[in-house]
Structure 1
Amino acid sequence: MPESVLYQACRLAADSGRPFHLQLTGGEPTLMPALIEKAARSARESGLCRTIGIQTNGSCLSPEMLKIFKTYDMQVGVSLDGGPDVHQAQRGKAAETLRGLQMLESAGIPFRVTTVVTRHNTAFLDRLALTLAGFSCARGIGLDLLVAKGRAAATAAADFPDSRSLADGSKAMAATLAAVNACRPRPIRLREKDLLMRAEKKPAFCHACRGESLAVHPDGRLFPCGQTLADDSFAAGTVWHPEPGALQRLGMSRPEQADCERCEIRDRCPGDCPGRLHYNRGARQTLVCDLYRALWKTSTENPPERRKT
């Protein structure tokens, strides 16, 4: 991303006059530490940037990058799709990613893991919990169902998990994570479970549902969120000439085919990413229902154990 786009994007966010979160993602953002530092500094200097996050595959971390994480108090997310063998098969560079996690651990930098859930790793989600068990800096896991967009669209039919395997895999993961957390002074949180167990349901799944977020393409074009990036049907102008009204196009946060009225978790269900719902048409949309119901059943049947001290 050219610096001119970067600085204009930060100015655009600050011009709203409201506090904002800056999320840095890629490609692989850690390949350009100098640009990442400029983005973080510009956002902080606006006086309105409250938090900064970065999503990385962890394979290119360096002492310089770790210093930037600490200096700007960045929330670090690492893409990890399972244990070493599963991650290697699904994404590659498993050894490099695990080395990155070790670097974060040694530097005392908290991190969360994001896992893309597919047919190939649902049966091994419990191993992800075991992989993270020894990392004291691991703070959480987020499960992102596959999105049929870009390269994934060509193989989506073969790569989506089925309802049964997704339910079984998520239950096994939740149970394993509970056992792991019973031995940790600080638990590893499961994002989807936390969303379900929240006392009050949020009126919208995310800021994009309300037109309160924007994603910036390296060429300066704007889109409602990262899921819709580079999809011209969601184009919302540029950082120099934004079209705020176009950011309102993502309103759906419930699967079209879901029978929400009869669902046992209807009063707690957080809904789903509107971008994912847009691209995952038909029965694929209700996979999130299977995930939430499985986690709810596990939570109510097996209350969390008291952690050892």
Structure 2
Amino acid sequence: MLPTVRYLILWLTEGCNLRCAYCYRPNQGAPKAMSREVVDQALTLAARSGRFFHVQISGGEPTLEPDLIAYTAEALQRRRLPATLAVQTNGTRLTSELIHLFRRYAIQVGISLDGPPPIQENLRGGAAKTVAGIRRLEAAGVPFRITAVVSEASIGTLDLLPLFVGTFRWCQGIALDLLTVKGHALQGHVAPPKHHSLRVGLQRFYRSVLFVNQHRHQPLRLRELDRLRRAKASSSTSVFCPAAKGESLAVRPDGSVFPCGQTCGEKDWACGTVWHPDTTRLRRLCGLAQPRGADCATCHIRRFCPGECPSRLIYNTAHHASLVCTMYQTLWELWEKPNGIPDGSKAQRGKGGEK
């Protein structure tokens, strides 16, 4: 029996108009686009449990297939499925038609942006077009979030990212993805941050968020800190992602399925197809969420730590895997300081706002 799917990832295409220094897309000839039949069958699998699920449109660069984005949104609405829909894009191809589509179907938008334009240009390319895309979202009043890949090449300027995106009213928050060492990253041109670099970079980044949120009506949220806060509030250990619970399903354009987006295209992680999924293999990432560092037993956030991305634990060395500990511990220590928090609530109290 297929496990409950709470997170469905649709790789609409393996094509991309950029060449990121750490891209992990499989290089298997000419890019292919997903058929509507694969979209429909993937939605059927996710809807089988009758429970709410989230659909993440990804790739490659999904905006290369705008008609498929529209079809997916229309299919969810037509079938009245209990789901939300989001798209992760590099932002370089955001036309007025796409932005209208996002608004019409309440599609959540994530923009991949690793830092200020020079860093973005160096690591991904197309920086000017990405900024132009962000400006179009802002002009249209479409909410969006930023996802930044954190590497040694970007951590030194990470504090500039909130200062830039904080000027956009409709930017809702920032998510930090530690670099996964696979694909192009194996060539050594870009590496995960060092522990010291990560700690210092996060401290500077956090101060920038505090500064920006003092001047915004709606504060920038930090995904990683929100994870910790929710787990602490519920007094329970959380998990990094649905894949760590066997509740994730990633689908390639040809209909083959994998436990999560980062394993997509890896033969060793193939789990059949949307027509004949291997339910046992889809749960292979379960129980791999904890970094298992030597200091876990004495860590002050161990009771509510969400652990590490299970697939990143597979691809990164033990030294790199423990970077997540540095990230969570640093953010939590900064959160506990009495001089404010990145969601702006303490800043508001300090300024005489609502308690």
TM-score range, shorter-chain basis? over 0.9
CA distance in 2, matches of 1:129, 1:258: 33
Structure 2 match to 1:154: 187
CA distance in 2, matches of 1:26, 1:164: 32
Structure 2 match to 1:209: 244
Percent of aligned pairs sharing the same letter: 45
Cα offsets for 1:23-82 (capped at 9, x unmatched):
100111112111110011112323223210100000000011001101111110000000
Which residue identity does 2:213 align to in structure 1? N
Structure 1 match to 2:322: 286
Unaligned runs of 5+ in 2: 1-33
User: Which of 187, 205, 210 is equivalent to 1:173?
Assistant: 205
User: Which of 131, 134, 149 is equivalent to 1:101?
Assistant: 134
Shift in Å, 1:286 = 0.3
Moved over 4 A (4+): none
Structure 1 match to 2:311: 275
Provide closer, same or farther for how the CA distance between residues 76 and 212 of structure 1 changes in structure 2, counting only shifts above 3 A.
Answer: same
CA distance in 2, matches of 1:230, 1:31: 19
User: Which of 8, 18, 31 is equivalent to 2:64?
Assistant: 31
1:17 partnered with 2:50: yes
Structure 2 match to 1:91: 124
Structure 2 match to 1:306: 347
SS at match of 1:77: strand
CA distance in 1, matches of 2:266, 2:69: 25
Any conservation in 2 of the 1:22–1:43 contact (CA below 8 Å)?
A: no
So what's the TM-score if we normalise by structure 2?
A: 0.83
User: Which of 111, 122, 127 is equivalent to 1:78?
Assistant: 111
Structure 2 match to 1:6: 39
Shift in Å, 1:7 = 1.7
More helix by share: 1
Which residue identity does 1:85 align to in structure 2? P
User: Which of 287, 291, 299 is equivalent to 1:263?
Assistant: 299
CA distance in 2, matches of 1:229, 1:49: 25
Any conservation in 2 of the 1:175–1:298 contact (CA below 8 Å)?
A: no
Provide closer, same or farther for how the CA distance between residues 30 and 258 of structure 1 changes in structure 2, counting only shifts above 3 A.
Answer: farther
Matches within 5 A, 1:40-119: 40-119=73-152
Cα offsets for 1:86-130 (capped at 9, x unmatched):
111111111100000000000000000000000011011110010
CA distance in 2, matches of 1:258, 1:137: 41
Any conservation in 1 of the 2:147–2:174 contact (CA below 8 Å)?
A: yes
Structure 1 match to 2:28: none
CA distance in 2, matches of 1:42, 1:211: 25
Cα offsets for 1:146-174 (capped at 9, x unmatched):
00122222227x51210000000011111
1:144 partnered with 2:206: no
The total of aligned residue pairs comes to 308
Shift in Å, 1:205 = 2.1
Shift in Å, 1:202 = 4.3
Cα offsets for 1:216-238 (capped at 9, x unmatched):
01111000110110112211110
User: Which of 226, 229, 253 is equivalent to 2:261?
Assistant: 226
SS at match of 2:60: coil
User: Alignment RMSD, CA only?
Assistant: 1.5
Shift in Å, 1:256 = 3.0
1:192 partnered with 2:224: yes
Any conservation in 1 of the 2:237–2:305 contact (CA below 8 Å)?
A: no
So what's the TM-score if we normalise by structure 1?
A: 0.95
SS at match of 1:289: helix
CA distance in 1, matches of 2:167, 2:309: 31
Any conservation in 2 of the 1:18–1:48 contact (CA below 8 Å)?
A: no
Unaligned runs of 5+ in 1: none
Which residue identity does 1:236 align to in structure 2? C
Cα offsets for 1:163-222 (capped at 9, x unmatched):
000000011111110110011110010111111222124442221111111000111100
CA distance in 2, matches of 1:234, 1:16: 23
SS at match of 1:186: coil
User: Which of 258, 274, 299 is equivalent to 1:239?
Assistant: 274
User: Which of 158, 178, 190 is equivalent to 1:125?
Assistant: 158
Provide closer, same or farther for how the CA distance between residues 243 and 2 of structure 1 changes in structure 2, counting only shifts above 3 A.
Answer: same
CA distance in 2, matches of 1:16, 1:239: 15
Structure 1 match to 2:195: 163
SS at match of 1:271: coil
